[in-house]
């Protein structure tokens, strides 16, 4: 639209409000999925979401369409919208892709200037400590949340927006299998040791080592996932 041509205010305001409400609904549903409140295969009750947020069902439908396009939920004709249940091959493929992205992020983060590197290392050291505290408290969801923040800090530090968006999409689809993985104390203990080694490599500015450790960390996480008993719950 040309800058000197404007639309009537009411439709524009309505559109803006609808878009904002759709984002609110999307974030609400996504938070429920990421926290485990909505499990894989579970139906998302559209009226309940609308009622809880005190909005109409129109922005909720828009939010669910967006989540479906990102691969987090699936719509079934005459049945509704459900949290996606990933097949084993898809989980494997996503872990392989994530290993590549984490490796790249580690390499780039290790090349940060001294001041930025020190700030990142300080943040990650504190994060690893909180993960250890969560493990000792046997609080798997707190550990999972901190684990995501640890990796996301490195991804952001890499400074590649396109990679960040792809990474976010992958992590959203892998959240359920990762929650199951991190539920076992032995898995947490091994993961913490790997996180501390990553921090050390970043502190040294060793980009090749940081890339290798990040990539292997994700690959090892997938192996641990395969070894986790199916009946284990967060």
Where exactly are the structural domains of the chain?
A: 9-83, 88-227
Q: Which CATH number fits domain 9-83: 3.30.1490.190, 3.40.630.10, 2.30.30.100, 1.10.10.10?
A: 1.10.10.10
Q: Which carries the bigger pLDDT value, residue 221 or residue 123?
A: 123
User: What CATH number belongs to 88-227?
Assistant: 1.20.120.530
Q: Which carries the bigger pLDDT value, residue 142 or residue 63?
A: 63
Buried b (16+ CB within 10 A) or exposed e, 34-69: bebebeeeeebebeebbeebebeeebbbbbbebbee
The region of weakest confidence among 81-95, 167-181, 193-207 is 167-181
Name, in order, each residue with C-beta under 8 angstroms of 125's C-beta and a sequence gap of 6 or more. 199
Three-point CA angle 91, 201, 34, nearest 5°: 30
Same fold across 9-83 and 88-227: no
Name, in order, each residue with C-beta under 8 angstroms of 231's C-beta and a sequence gap of 6 or more. none
> What integer best gives the mean pLDDT of the chain?
85
Whether pLDDT at 49 is above 50: yes
pLDDT on residue 2: 40
Q: Are 92 and 222 in contact (CB under 8 A)?
A: yes
pLDDT on residue 154: 98
pLDDT on residue 12: 47
Cα 75 from chain centroid? 21
pLDDT on residue 177: 59
Using CA atoms, how far apart are residues 186 and 221, in angstroms rounded to an integer? 12
Alpha carbon distances (Å) from 232 to 174, 177, 193, 225, 228: 17, 11, 22, 11, 7
Entry pTM: 0.75
């Amino acid at each position: 639209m040309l800058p000197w041509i404007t639309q009537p205010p009411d439709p524009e305001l309505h559109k803006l409000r609808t878009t904002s409400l759709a984002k609110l609904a999307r974030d609400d549903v996504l938070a429920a999925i990421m926290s485990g409140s909505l499990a894989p295969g579970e139906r998302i009750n559209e009226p309940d979401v609308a009622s809880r947020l005190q909005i109409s069902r129109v922005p909720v439908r828009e939010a669910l369409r967006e989540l479906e396009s990102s691969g987090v939920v699936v719509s079934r004709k005459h049945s509704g919208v459900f949290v996606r249940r990933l097949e084993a091959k898809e989980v494997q493929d996503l872990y392989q892709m994530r290993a590549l992205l984490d490796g790249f992020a580690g390499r780039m983060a290790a090349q940060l200037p001294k001041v930025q590197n020190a700030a990142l290392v300080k943040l990650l050291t504190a994060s690893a400590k909180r993960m250890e505290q969560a493990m000792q408290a046997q609080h798997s969801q707190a550990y999972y949340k901190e684990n995501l923040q640890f990796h996301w800090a490195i991804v952001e530090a890499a400074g590649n927006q396109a990679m960040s968006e792809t990474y976010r999409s992958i992590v959203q689809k892998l959240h359920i299998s990762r929650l199951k993985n991190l539920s076992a104390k032995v898995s947490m203990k091994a993961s913490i040791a790997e996180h501390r080694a990553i921090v050390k490599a970043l502190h040294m500015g060793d980009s090749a080592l940081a890339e290798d450790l990040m990539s292997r960390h994700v690959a090892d996480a997938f192996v641990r996932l395969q070894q986790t008993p199916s009946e284990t719950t967060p």
